[in-house]
Each structure stands twice: as structure tokens, then as C-alpha cells.
Amino acid sequence: MTDAPAAALDDNAREPMDDERTAFGAHESPDLLAPAFDDTPRALAPRVQLWWRIGFLLNAVVPSMALGVLTWFAFFDRSVPHTAAAVALPWIIAGLVGLRIPGRRYAAWRYRVTPDALRLDRGVMFRVESVVPYTRIQHVDTEQGPLERMLGLSHVTVHTASGSGSSLTIPGLTPEDGHALREHLAMLAGVVEPL
């Protein structure tokens, strides 16, 4: 793990997590009354930091190309060093951000499957603690991008009927965890009639 400071969580007094803990038994079908659903805060899979890091770098691709082209054609007289610097700049920024942020973000992320609601606590600069009552869940998706598949990760998206169109995403789950979580949430949500 990285040097992630736990300072962001000072108010919560939560126990530290085992890194490789699986949230749910991968093969047992989640049961409504299963004892697996205690209120313990669960961390994401540590590999998600790598995913975020690569994400930052990928975000640098377009700005780097744009800056390069702009510098080459528009601003300077086609000088190679300037263009090289312009191309490198976004990558350097992404690299620096990628060094610092993912660890802290990982440390700040917790989700809890409590008896009445799904709770998500996250955010480094801006902390957000969401509570999604199961009765409000419209549907639940598991998704896996190509990069996530390579890293063995998946994410779960929880859709509510909220008018601002926001849906909540839990990133960095192992495919088994993601699947189990989706099944479980879907079942909890299915108990009630949707809107």
C-alpha cells in the first residue's frame, strides 16, 4: 500500500481494513438474512489505485496531442524543444497527480451494506457521504471496461430515480465482489415496487 494518510477519516473512527478481504463469498448466493451483511465498512480492491493512475495518464493523451499540435503550428516557429515540452507537460502533470491522489482516494473510499441502506463514503478534497435506501434503488449494473478486465476489476453502478440523473458508482471491486454485490443489492431493491 502507499503512504495514504488516514487523516481524511478522522471523524469516523473506523477500523483499518485487510487489503485482500473479499466482501462476499463469491459462490454462495447472497441471502437477505445472510450474516455476511454486517455493517463493517469495506475498502476497495487495492488494485484500483493502479487503475486510477492509468486513468490519469490516459487523460493526458488528448491535451498532450492538442498542446503539441498547437505549439507546433500556432504559437512558435516549429521548434522541436518547445513542442516536446508542450507534449510532455500534460504527462508530467498526470504523473505527479497520479503519484499522490490514488493512494489518498483509496484510503478515503468505504462502502457499507447496512440493513436499510447502501452507504458510500468517499472523496479526498470534497468528502461525500451518500446513503442510498434500498427502496430507492431502481436498478444495479456491473460493468467492466477493457482496462478493468486486464486488471481484474469491475465497478457497480447503482441507479436511483433521482431527478438530477445522478447514479452512484463503486469502482475497484473484484469481479466476484462486484457480481455478488450487484445480486445482493438487486434483490434488496427488488423487494419494493419501483417508482
Q: How far is the CB of 98 from other proteins (least distance, A)?
A: 21
52 neighbors 122 (Cβ within 8 angstroms):
no
82 neighbors 76 (Cβ within 8 angstroms):
yes
Q: How far is the CB of 140 from other proteins (least distance, A)?
A: 14
Question: By the criterion CB under 8 A, which residues form the site for other proteins?
Answer: 11, 32-33, 115-117, 123, 125-136, 160-166, 168, 187-188, 190-193, 195
31 neighbors 130 (Cβ within 8 angstroms):
no
Q: How far is the CB of 161 from other proteins (least distance, A)?
A: 4
Q: Closer CB to other proteins, residue 144 or residue 167? A: 167
| SS3 assignment for 31-72 | CCCCCCCCCCCECCCCCHHHHHHHHHHHHCHHHHHHHHHHHH
- What cell numbers appear for 151 in the block? 486488471
- Rounded CA-CA distance 21/30 in Å is 17
Q: Closer CB to other proteins, residue 42 or residue 122? A: 122
Q: How far is the CB of 139 from other proteins (least distance, A)?
A: 13
Q: Closer CB to other proteins, residue 30 or residue 68? A: 30
Q: Closer CB to other proteins, residue 79 or residue 138? A: 138
Q: How far is the CB of 109 from other proteins (least distance, A)?
A: 15
The set of long-range contacts for 28-35, using a CB threshold of 8 Å and a minimum separation of 24, is 29/183, 30/180, 30/183, 30/184, 30/187, 32/187, 32/188, 32/191
Please give the C-alpha separations between residue 14 and each of 21, 36, 120, in angstroms, as whole numbers: 16, 18, 14
- Rounded CA-CA distance 162/152 in Å is 31
Q: How far is the CB of 74 from other proteins (least distance, A)?
A: 23
- What cell numbers appear for 53 in the block? 493512475
Q: Closer CB to other proteins, residue 15 or residue 193? A: 193
Q: Closer CB to other proteins, residue 168 or residue 173? A: 168
